[in-house]
Structure 1
Amino acid sequence: MNNLRILEIRYLEPHRTFLRNPQKESIVKFSGNLEFLSDELRLFYWHGYPFDFLPSKFYPENIVSIDMSYSHIKNLWTTPMCFKKLKEMTLSYCHHLTNLPDFTDIPNLEYLFLDGCVNLIEVHPSVGLLKRLLYLNLENCYNLRSFPDKVQMESLRHLIIWGCTKVENWPKVLGKIKTLIELGVDLPAINEPPSIVSSISNLQSLLIHGHERIRSRWRNSEFQPSSSPSKWYHPQSFVIPSFASLHFLKHLHVSNCNISEVSSDIFEALSCLKELDLHGNSFSSLPASLSQLNQLEYLDISDCEKLEVLPEIPPKGLNDFGGNFDVHIHGSRIPRWFTHQSTRKGVMVVLPSSWRYNKFRGYVACVVFTLKKPCNYTEVHELSTLRCSVNNFDGGNLHRKQSCGISYEFVDNCTRIVGSDMIWLHYSKSKPSWMKAKNLITFSFSCPFLEVKQCGVRLFCDEDIQEDMDLSMTQDLSTQPQEGGIFDPNHEWVLGSIKDEYPRVVFR
C-alpha cells in the first residue's frame, strides 16, 4: 500500500465511549510493531492508535490532516518534520502524551486539538509562533505547567484552556493575543488581573468557569486531578470585570465563580449579547441594566440559590423558551395539584367533552424517580436519560419525545443520588400536533437505568390561567429537602411556566 492516501480507523462515538471508560482498548487489535505507513497519506485518522511511536521512516510530506485521538502515542517525532501542507492535528485524550514535538516546520497549521491530554506537561515554544493557527484547544490538560511566553499567533481566533490551572503565565499570554473571538478560560487564569479580558476587544464569546465543571468531568477516573479539592470546588468571590470595551460580545458565560454581586453597569455596553449564563453563583439580585439587552435570547440562572429578585426582562429578546423547560429537585412526592397521578410508569388523561384545542395552553408532568444501582458520573450522564412519550387514543404521537438527563449538580453528590429520590418537573407548551387529541391521552415515562416510582400530569387551559394558582402549586413542594437542590418554593416558577410571554430562563 505504498500509494495509500487515506487511512481512517475511527470510534463511532469516540467522546462518549472514552468518557465512559478511559481505559477502553480499541476494538482493532494489533500484534508486534508498526514498521510502515504510506508516505503518500493525505488524511491519517487512527483513533486509539495502539503504538508508542510512529514509524521512524514515516514522512508524509503532503499530509493535510492527522487525527490520533485516544491513542497510546508517547512521542510523535523526535526530529522536526516539514509538513508544509498540514492544516489540522487532533491529539485529543492522548493520556500518554507528555510533551509536544517541534512545530517550527509546520507553518500552515490552523487547528490544534489537545483537549484531554491529562499528562501533557509543556507546550513546545514553537506552538506560540504558529502565525496561521486559528483554533487551539487545551481543555482539561490539567497537568500542563507552562505555555510559551513568546506568542506570535497572529491569526488565533479560538482559545480553550479550561482546566489548565497550573499554568501561571496565562495573563501574560492572553495580553499578547488581540485577535481572539472566543475564549474559554478558568477563573484563576484571569482573576489577577481580571482587566486582561477587557483588552481583547474583538471577543464574541467569553466562557469563564469555576471548577465545579471539572470535578464532575473526571469523577471516578484514574486520571482525576490530584490537586486539593478545596482549591477546585470553592473559588474565592469573583468580581466581574468591566466589559465596556467588548462591544461585539454575543455569548457570556460566567458560571460557578462565586459571584456575590453584579455591578449595575455591567450590561450597559453589551448591546450585541445574545446568550448569558450565570449559573451556580451566589448573587441575590441582578441589575436593572439587564433590561437593556434587547438581543438576549438565552438566560441561565440555574443553581443561583441566593437569588431573590429578577429585574425587568428585555422586552424584545426573551419572549420564547422553545416551548418547554425542566426543573430537577430532590423529593419523593407528587404535588396534589397534579390532577392525574399514578404509581406506575404512565398515566392516562381522559379528555372532557368540553375539550377544545384553541383553549389548550400546555401541560406539566412530574416524575419521582431514583437510580436502580450506584453509578459513577459517566455512567449516569451517558445512560440515565428519562424520556416522556405522549400518545393519542389511537397510539399516534402527539408530541416529540421529551427527555431529562441527570444534571451535573446531582452527580456531584453521588452519595446522595444513589440513595435518594429525585423529581423531574417538565413543562411543555401547546403544539399544533395536539389538534388531533381526542378521548384519551397517555403519558409514559421510561429509562432502563432509572426506576419510576410515581408520575403525575396536569393539562392547562385558559380557565387555569385566570386562577390564582401560585400558592396552591408551590405549597406542596415547600417540604421538599433544600440541601443540594435548586428550588425555592417562594418563587412563582409554575405560574410563570404557563404564561406565553415568560422569558426563556433555564432552570434545569
Structure 2
Amino acid sequence: MKKLRLLKVYWSDHSSFMKKESKVLIPKDFEIPSHELRYLYWEGYSLNYLPSNFHGENLVELDLRYSTIKRLWRGSKGLEKLKFINLSHSEKLTRISKFSGMPNLERLNLEGCTSLRKVHSSLGVLKKFTSLQLKDCQKLESFPSSIELESLEVLDISGCSNFEKFPEIHGNMRHLRKIYLNKSGIKELPSSIEFLESLEMLQLANCSNFEKFPEIQRDMNSLQWLVLGGTAIKELPSSIHHLTGLRELSLYRCKNLRRLPSSICRLEFLHGIYLHGCSNLEAFPEIIKDMENIGRLELMGTSLKELPPSIEHLKGLEELDLTNCENLVTLPSSICNIKSLGRLVLQNCSKLQELPKNPMTLQCSDMIGLCSLMDLNLSGCNLMGGAIPSDLWCLSSLRRLNLSGSNIRCIPSGISQLRILQLNHCKMLESITELPSSLRVLDAHDCTRLDTLSSVSSLLRCSMFSCFKSAIQELEHGIESSKSIGINIVIPGSRGIPEWISNQELGSEVTVELPMNWYEDNDFLGFALCSLYVPLDDPFEDGGLKCQLIAFHGDQFRRVDDDIWFKSSCKLYENGGVSYLHKCCDNGDVSDCILWVTYYPQIAIKKKHRSNQWRHFKALFNGLYNCGRKAFKVKKCGIHLLYAQDFQPNHYSSQLLRETANCNIKRSRDNTESDPAEGPSHKRLRDLQP
C-alpha cells in the first residue's frame, strides 16, 4: 500500500446515510502508510482524528463527509498540495486546524458541522481560496475579524444563528460574487462591503436581528439581487441608489419597514420589488422619473391606503399585486396609463369600493386604457353593482376575471376574449345577461340570488361542448402539454351519474370495449370518465382524487398514461399550463354527493397502445379522499366513448345540463325553506330547467 494514491470508502445506501452509522469498523491504531495518497474519500469516517502517522504532503482532496471526526489532526501539517476539504455534516467537529500549512487550499465545505464554534483567523489570508461553505453551523461564533481572500467567489454562512458580526473587507476581493447570510444571527454589515465590486447576490433573508442596511458611498454596479426579506429593517438608506445594477429587491415580511426612499426610482435596471407582508408600510414613494424595467410589484398585505399618481411612471410594469391591502381605499386614475400592465390583483381589498374614473367626466372609466390587461382579480372587494365601469367589458385583452365574493349585482356583456369568469360567493349577483363564446370556465357557485342567465338552455350546452371541441383542437395543434390533458368538471350536490354515460358500475372500477380499428376512426374523440362520491362520517388518510386508465388484453395489463389527477380542485388546462380554480368544498360544509367528470382525448393515447390488441380499457378511481371537513368514498363510476356526432346540438348536452339544473334546484329548495324571502328568486331558477 506504499504506492496507494486513491482511497475511497462510501456507503451504498445514499438515500438514508444521514440516519445510520458507518458499518466500517476502524481500529484505533489504524494507519495510512502511503506517502503518495492524492485523494482520500471516506464517508462516515468513525475515528475522532486522522491517524497520527498520516502523510498528506501529496494530498489534493480530502473528503470526510458525515464523519465523527472532532479535529483533523493534532498539531500542524504541511499540506501544500491540498486544494479541497469536505467535512460537511461532521457533527462532532469542534475546530479546524490552522490553514498556514495549506497555501493552495481552494474550497472548504463545513456545512452542517453543528458543533463547530470557530474558524481560525489564518483562513482570512489564503490567496487561492474560492469557496467557503459554513451553512447550518449553528454554534459558529468566531470568524476572522477581517478577510482579504482575493480569490473568494462564494461565501455561505446561512443558518449560523450565533454568527453576529460580519468581517471587515480588506484588500482587493474582486472575485466575490455571492454572499449567503440567510437565517444567521447577523446584526449589521460593515460599510466596507461597498468595496466588493463583483458582488452579484447578497442574501439576508430571515435574519431577525438585522436592523439597518449600511450607507453606500460608491456605485456597486454588479449587485443584482438584494434579499432582505424577514429582517427587522426599518428603512433603506437614501444611498440605495448606488446599487446601480440592482434587478431584484426583496423586502417581504419586513414588518418594521415603514417607508422606502424616493431614491429607489434611480435604480434604472430594477425589475422586481417584493414588499408582501410589510404590514406597517403605509406609503409608496413618489416615482419622479420613468422606470422602464420594473415588471413586477408585490404589495400584498401592506397598509397602503393609496398609490401615488406617479405610479404611471412604471412604464414597463406587467404585474401589480395588492392582495389583502385592507386599508386601500382608491386607485389613481393614472394607473390606467400603464399600457404594459397584464395582471392586476386587488383580492380582499375590502375598503376599495370603485375602480378608477376619469376625473374630467366622473362617468367614463379609464380602465379601457389598460390595453394589455389579461388577468383582473377583484375578489373580495366591496364593489357595488355600479362600481364596475361599463367599458371594462370592452377590454379585448382580458382573459381572466375574478369577481368572487364581491357585491356586484349584474354582469353586462362585452368581453370578447374572456376565458375564465369566477363569480362564486357573489351573494348580490342577480343576473348574467350574456357570456362570450370564448368562455372556457364559468364559476358561479353559491350565488344565492342569481335569477337570470341569458339563454341558459342553449348557452350551457354550447359552452360545455365547445369546451370539449376547443380542447381537442388545441391538442391536435400541439398546444397542450403531455401532462396537461383534458377538462375537469365538478357538480356538487349531484344525484347520480348522468344517463348518457353508457357504461356504469357500482364501486370504483368500470370497463369498456372499443370497436375494431378504433385507432383509425377519426370520429372517435376519447373517453368521458365519471365518478360519484358520497360523504362518510369519519375522515381518513387522503389518497388523492385520481383515476388510472388501463388497457388490457387477456391477462396483459398496460397503464395508458400517468394517473389522471382530479385532486379537489376544478382545473383548467390552458396553453400547456394548469390553472387551479376554486375547491369544490372551499366553504368546508359540503354534505351532498359530488360528481366528477373528466374528458380524456383519444389522441393522448400513446402509439404503443394503438392496435386491435388493446380494445379493452378499464378506469380505476381512487376510492377515498377528504374534502374540507368531510370524507368521501366513490360509490359509482362510469366511462363513455365520445364521438364527433356527440357534439351536435341537443345530443348529450341536455342531459348533463339537466343534471346541473337538478343540482341547483335541490339547493334552491333547501335555501327557500331556510329563507322564505328568497322564494321567488329560486322559483324563476327552476323555470329555467329544460
| TM-score of Structure 1 vs Structure 2, range by shorter chain | 0.5 to 0.7
Q: Distance between the aligned counterparts of 1:160 and 1:120, measured in 2?
A: 15
CA RMSD, Structure 1 to Structure 2 (Å) = 5.5
> Do the aligned residues in 2 keep the contact of 1:119 with 1:141 (CA within 8 Å)?
yes
Code of the residue aligned with 2:130 in structure 1: it is: L
Partner of 1:69: 65
**Taking structure 1 as reference, are residues 25 and 392 closer, same or farther at Cα in structure 2, changes over 3 Å only?**
closer
SS at match of 1:62: coil
Deviates more, 1:236-245 or 1:80-89: 236-245
Work out whether residues 206 and 252 of structure 1, in 8 Å CA contact, stay in contact via their aligned partners in 2: no
SS of 2:181 mapped into structure 1 = strand
State the TM-score, normalized to the length of structure 2: 0.43
Distance 1:189 1:211, change over 3 A: closer
Aligned partners of 1:270 and 1:293 also within 8 Å: no
Distance 1:340-1:80 versus aligned 2 partners, 3 A rule: farther
CA positional deviation for 1:396: 5.1
Corresponding position of 1:2: 2
**Structure 2 Cα separation of the partners of residues 249 and 259 of structure 1:** 23
Query: In structure 2, the residue corresponding to 1:209 is in which secondary structure?
Result: coil
Contact 2:168 2:190 in 1 (8 A): no
What secondary structure sits across from 1:89 in the alignment?
strand
Residues 255 and 279 in structure 1, CA contact (< 8 A), matched pair in contact too = yes
Corresponding position of 1:173? 168
- Residue of structure 2 aligned with 1:244, choices 241, 244, 248: 241
For residue 376 of structure 2, what is the aligned residue in structure 1?
none
User: Which structure's CA Rg is the greater one?
Assistant: 2
Deviation larger for 70-79 or 258-267: 258-267
1:48 aligns with one of 41, 44, 54: 44
Cα 1:235–1:276 change in 2 (3 A) is closer
CA distance in 1, matches of 2:543, 2:242: 42
2:131 aligns with 135
Residue 35 of structure 1: which of 30, 41, 44 is its match? 30
> Which residue number in structure 2 is paired with residue 161 of structure 1?
157
* Amino acid across the alignment from 2:293: N
Q: Which amino acid in the other structure matches residue 5 of structure 2?
A: R
Cα separation, partners in 2 of 1:428 and 1:306, compared to 1, 3 Å: farther
Amino acid in the other structure paired with 1:113: N
Deviations 1:269-325 (A, max 9, x none): 5555567666654446766769837386xx6959x533768967773888999xxxx
The equivalent position to 1:26 in structure 2, one of 21, 27, 50, is: 21
Q: Does 1:431 align with 2:573?
A: no
1:260 maps to 257
**1:17, distance to aligned residue in structure 2 (A):** 4.3
> Which SS does the other structure have where 1:159 is aligned?
strand
Query: 1:131-189, CA deviations, whole angstroms, 9 ceiling, x for partnerless residues?
Result: 2211112222221111112422122221111233433431x435777432111124776
Contact kept in structure 1, 2:249 and 2:273, CA below 8 Å: yes
Q: Distance between the aligned counterparts of 1:256 and 1:295, measured in 2?
A: 20
Flag structure 2 segments of 5+ consecutive residues without an equivalent. 209-228, 320-339, 344-423, 426-440, 446-463, 491-538, 552-557, 579-598, 606-618, 633-690
Contact 1:284 / 1:306 at 8 angstroms: preserved in 2? yes
Structure 1 gap segments, 5+ residues each: 213-232, 322-334, 342-348, 374-383, 405-422, 456-508
8 A contact 1:278–1:301 mirrored in 2: yes
* CA-CA distance at 1:95 after TM superposition: 1.0
Aligned to 2:117: 121
Identity %, equivalent residues: 25
Per-residue CA deviations over 1:190-219 (Å, capped at 9, x if unaligned) read 65467555453432111111158xxxxxxx
* Contact 2:62–2:85 (CA under 8 A) maintained in structure 1: yes
The letter for the 1-side match of 2:9 is: I
Distance 1:31 1:147, change over 3 A: closer
Amino acid at match of 1:26: E
Aligned residue identity for 1:260:
L
Q: Relative contact order (C-alpha < 8 Å, sep 6+): which is higher? A: 1
2: distance between equivalents of 1:452 and 1:159? 46
1:292 is matched with which residue?
Answer: 291
- Cα distance change of structure 1 residues 439 and 184 upon mapping to structure 2, 3 Å threshold: same
CA contact (8 A) 1:10 1:47 kept: yes
What is the alpha-carbon distance in structure 1 between the residues aligned to residue 188 and residue 470 of structure 2?
A: 61
The answer to whether the 8 A contact 1:351-1:441 is kept is no
Once the two structures are TM-superposed, the CA of residue 107 in structure 1 deviates from its matched residue by 1.0
- TM-score if structure 1 supplies the norm length? 0.56
Shift in alpha-carbon separation, 1:207–1:102, aligned structure 2, 3 A:
same
CA distance in structure 1 between the aligned counterparts of 2:187 and 2:465, rounded to whole angstroms? 57
Structure-2 separation of matches of 1:358 and 1:146: 61
**Aligned ranges for residues 73-472 of structure 1 at < 5 Å?**
73-170=69-166, 172-174=167-169, 178-179=173-174, 180-186=176-182, 191-192=187-188, 197-211=193-207, 236-241=232-237, 242-249=239-246, 253-254=250-251, 256-258=253-255, 260-261=257-258, 263-265=260-262, 267-268=264-265, 270-272=267-269, 281-282=278-279, 283=281, 292=291, 294=293, 305-306=301-302, 315=316, 354-356=469-471, 357-358=473-474, 397=561, 429-431=574-576, 438=601, 453=627
Q: What is the letter of the counterpart of residue 315 of structure 1? A: G
Deviation sequence 1:369-394 (CA, Å, 0-9, x none): xx978xxxxxxxxxx99898998999
Give the letter for the 1:2 counterpart. K
CA distance change for structure 1 residues 116 and 240 in 2, over 3 Å: closer, same or farther? Answer: farther
The code of the aligned residue for 1:354 comes to: K
Query: Could you tell me how far apart the structure 2 residues matched to 1:57 and 1:446 are?
Result: 65
Whole-Å separation in 1 of the counterparts to 2:297 and 2:82: 40
Equivalenced residue count is: 371
**Which one-letter code corresponds to 1:25 in the other structure?**
K
Q: Is the deviation greater in 92-101 or in 174-183?
A: 174-183
- Contact 2:276 2:301 (C-alpha < 8 Å) held by counterparts: no
Preserved CA contact (<8 Å) 1:69 1:93: yes
Amino acid corresponding to residue 52 of structure 1 in structure 2: N
Shift of 1:7: 2.7
Shift of the 195–254 alpha-carbon distance from structure 1 to 2, 3 Å rule, reads farther
| Offset of residue 6 of structure 1 | 2.5
> For 1:35-94, what per-residue CA distance to the aligned partner results, in whole angstroms no more than 9, with x for missing partners?
123432322222222111111111222222222222101010222222222222122121
One-letter identity of the residue aligned with 1:47: E
- CA deviations on 1:463-504 (whole Å, 9 max, x unpaired) are xxxxxxxxxxxxxxxxxxxxxxxxxxxxxxxxxxxxxxxxxx
- Report the Cα distance in structure 1 between the residues aligned to 2:61 and 2:565, rounded to whole angstroms: 38
Change (3 A) 1:118 1:185: same
Shift of 1:108: 1.3
Q: CA deviation at 1:3?
A: 2.6
Cα 1:107–1:68 shift into 2, 3 Å: same
Q: How far apart in 1 are the matches of 2:566 and 2:301?
A: 25
Measured in 1, the distance between the counterparts of 2:16 and 2:273 equals 31
How far apart are 1:97 and its partner, in Å? 0.8
Equivalent pair of 2:104/2:129 in contact (CA under 8 Å) = yes
Relative to structure 1, is the Cα distance of residues 61 and 17 closer, same or farther in structure 2, using a 3 angstrom cutoff? same
Does the CA-based 8 Å contact 2:294-2:316 persist in structure 1? no
Matched residue, 2:590: none
Distance 1:271 1:305 in 2: 26
Q: Secondary structure at the match of 1:292?
A: coil
Tell whether the 8 Å contact from 2:56 to 2:78 is kept in structure 1 after alignment.
no
Distance verdict in 2 for CA 1:74–1:273, change over 3 Å? farther
CA contact (8 A) 1:263 1:287 kept: yes
> Are 2:205 and 2:230, in contact at CA under 8 Å, matched by a contact in 1?
no
